[in-house]
Amino acid sequence: MVVLGLLAESPQSGYDMQRLLQQSRAEQWADILPGSIYHALKRLHADGLATLEATEQTGFRLKATYSITPAGRDELRRLLREAWRTPSSSQPAQLYAALSFIHALPRADVLDALQEQGRALEEALEDWEQGADAKREVLGNLPAYVEAALANGRQHIQLDLALVRQLRIQLSEDS
């Protein structure tokens, strides 16, 4: 959906998309890794959803620019409708499952793992804020709906961090 959406805005190369997605830290919010762009473009081309518009030699590399096809626009609209209708899940399911089997590990291992997870969540929160700042720097004032999405993402990370901290406290007291 993201690659098709970018192509719907303008013809682009994989490099152009990758750079844009890295700047906006898309791996945090779009469930897409910048390195997967080239694979997606090849698949979209093979499926008739994108077409190769031009190639250009840049140094030792061949830069391929793609554009969206009418079938690609139809697919983008289908994917967007599906995305708007589908509730997202933001529950830390793996952590919940691990809690079910907490007695299978020594308590010290669980506490160490929670501390490590807490640090990772703190880093994720910092990355999220840096990504939001970068987005504001590139685009200026963001629309209210983008700010709402950024706030929602921040709150999810903060809630997960609060849970991990609470579990560490409770499990430390139970030891």
Residue 32: per-residue pLDDT? 80
SS3 percent helix, strand, coil of the chain, rounded to 5, is 70, 10, 15
Give the pLDDT band (50/70/90) at residue 175. Answer: low
Residues 170, 102: one domain? yes
- Total number of domains constituting the chain: 2
Domain end, chosen from 29, 62, 85, is at 85
Residue 126: per-residue pLDDT? 93
Q: Which of 119, 103, 121, 117 is nearest to 171 (CA)?
A: 103
Residues 80, 125: one domain? no
* pLDDT at position 88 over 90: no
Token output for 5: 């959406």
Residues 114, 80: one domain? no
Between 69 and 133, the more confident residue is 69
Instruction: Give the residue-averaged pLDDT of 48-68.
Output: 92
CA 17, 20, 22, 26: dihedral to nearest 10 degrees? Answer: -90
Residues 7, 80: one domain? yes
Residues 6, 81: one domain? yes
> 14 and 41 in contact (C-beta within 8 Å)?
yes
Residue 111: per-residue pLDDT? 95
Phi, psi of 129, rounded to the nearest 5 degrees: -65, -40
* CATH code at position 16: 1.10.10.10
* pLDDT at position 28 over 80: no
Token output for 168: 């560490």
Instruction: Give the residue-averaged pLDDT of 62-84.
Output: 95
Instruction: Give the residue-averaged pLDDT of 78-89.
Output: 88
Domain end, chosen from 64, 85, 106, is at 85
Residues 102, 41: one domain? no
Residues 80, 136: one domain? no
Residues 24, 68: one domain? yes
Residues 80, 115: one domain? no
Residues 105, 53: one domain? no
Instruction: Give the residue-averaged pLDDT of 136-140.
Output: 84
Between 92 and 52, the more confident residue is 52
Residues 112, 66: one domain? no
Domain that holds residue 151: 93-174
Give the pLDDT band (50/70/90) at residue 31. Answer: confident
Average pLDDT, the chain: 90
Domain end, chosen from 58, 85, 112, is at 85
Residues 42, 100: one domain? no
Q: How far apart are CA 168 and CA 175, in angstroms?
A: 11
Ordered DSSP codes for 104-165: GS-HHHHHHHHHHHHHHHHHHHHHHHHHHHHHHHHHSSPPHHHHHHHHHHHHHHHHHHHHHH
